[in-house]
Amino acid sequence: MNKKIIRWIIWIAALTGILLCVGGISLSVGVSRISPKEIITLIFNGKGSIEYTILFDIRLPRIILGFAIGGALSLAGVILQGMFRNPLVEPYTLGISGGAALGVCLNIVLRLNQILGIYSLPLSGFLGAGLVIIMVYSLSMKRGILKIQGLLLTGVMISFVTSSLIMLIMAISRVEDLHGIVFWIMGSLEEPSWLLIKAAVLVSVSGLIISYKFSLDLNAFSLGEEEAMHLGVNTERTKRFLFVLASFLTGCSVAITGIIGFVGLVVPHFVRMFVGGDHRILLISSFLCGASFLIFCDTLARTVISPMELPVGVITGILGGSLFVYALTKRQIVLEGK
């Protein structure tokens, strides 16, 4: 077997092991500490107990959602960085998070969630993200060609506009509405609906499978659009599809959990330093690492000042920013790993 393939298998196995370990630790720690031995006992003979409820109704849903959202955001980051050949591009750069946040802010201020029910918040977030995606895509299309630089600049400008509108809404909103807006913007994995959790898992895993089919195209894009075209890649069709895929992954993630920053920016860089820039290994490695990173951050968020809980976006910002600065000082952040 090819040495490269063996190395990739080892990395995937190692990252899968890390993911399982982080998930196990997250399941055990909290206000009520439950040992691994007790967890096994509760699985087979613990229904109806308080510990069983804590494990399978509170902690397990957060772990599963962390797996889905962390993987989806990291995957979107890898795709966009590969498309733009820019190491600073992340899923939120294109204004998608701003659109989702604006939709949720309007929902909270207009009290639509009290009228339409629990699913109105993620629905309004997804609609806001969808409108931004359509706007950015339409403004960046010139004579049937998707302008990459235009796409980036348009997304950044729309992000500024939506941020200003959100601040305007926060300035004139009631105190109780302001608390809900701020907490949602900071991000949280506390999601009571199993339907939304299952949807997030389906979207993220499907995104990984679909994006993997474009791994060679992303490798070609790292050489430049012209070189990719000479290698037989239909660059326009690929750019459109990858943009829509990354935007859909980001929009779904933000709509369900709020804005969780730095995952899609830092994780691809960190993984690229170790596994290299080949997207055949980078995509799945980033997915697994992003899932582990977000589960770990959520565990810290609910245990650092227990019994109070911090927004997970605060923890990802602190850890992600620190890792990013560390990588910069090591001068190892490059678009193509060696």
For residue 334, what pLDDT is reported? Answer: 46
Between the alpha carbon of residue 229 and those of residues 155, 234, 235, 304, the distances in Å are 25, 6, 6, 50
Average pLDDT, the chain: 86
Q: Which residue ranges make up each domain of the chain?
A: 3-329
CA–centroid distance for 34 within its chain: 29
Average pLDDT of the segment spanning 38-62: 83
Q: What percent of the chain has pLDDT over 90?
A: 33
For residue 1, what pLDDT is reported? Answer: 60
Between the alpha carbon of residue 14 and those of residues 10, 11, 64, the distances in Å are 6, 5, 19
- What is the pLDDT confidence band of residue 202, given thresholds at 50, 70 and 90? very high
Alpha helical stretches, state H, the chain: 3-28, 36-45, 50-53, 60-84, 96-109, 112-116, 120-140, 148-172, 175-186, 194-212, 215-221, 225-230, 235-257, 263-275, 279-303, 312-329
DSSP letters along 105-125, please? HHHHHTTHHHHH-TTHHHHHH
What tokens were used for 201? 């898992």
| Res 153 pLDDT > 80 | yes
CATH architecture for residues 3-329: Orthogonal Bundle (1.10)
Average pLDDT of the segment spanning 148-174: 87
- Least confident stretch, 135-144, 158-167, 322-331: 322-331
For residue 330, what pLDDT is reported? Answer: 66
CA–centroid distance for 226 within its chain: 30
For residues 105 and 116, what is the distance between their CA atoms, to the nearest angstrom?
15
Q: Both ends of the chain: CA-CA distance in Å?
A: 21
For residue 214, what pLDDT is reported? Answer: 92
| Res 93 pLDDT > 90 | no
| Res 246 pLDDT > 70 | yes
- What is the pLDDT confidence band of residue 337, given thresholds at 50, 70 and 90? very low
For residue 335, what pLDDT is reported? Answer: 40
What tokens were used for 54? 């804590």
The pLDDT tens digits for 227-241 are 888 888 888 889 889
Rg of the chain (C-alpha set): 20
Average pLDDT of the segment spanning 212-234: 87
| Res 336 pLDDT > 70 | no
Look up residue 101 and give its amino acid: A
- What is the pLDDT confidence band of residue 331, given thresholds at 50, 70 and 90? low
CA–centroid distance for 52 within its chain: 29
* Whether 133 contacts 247, CB under 8 Å: yes
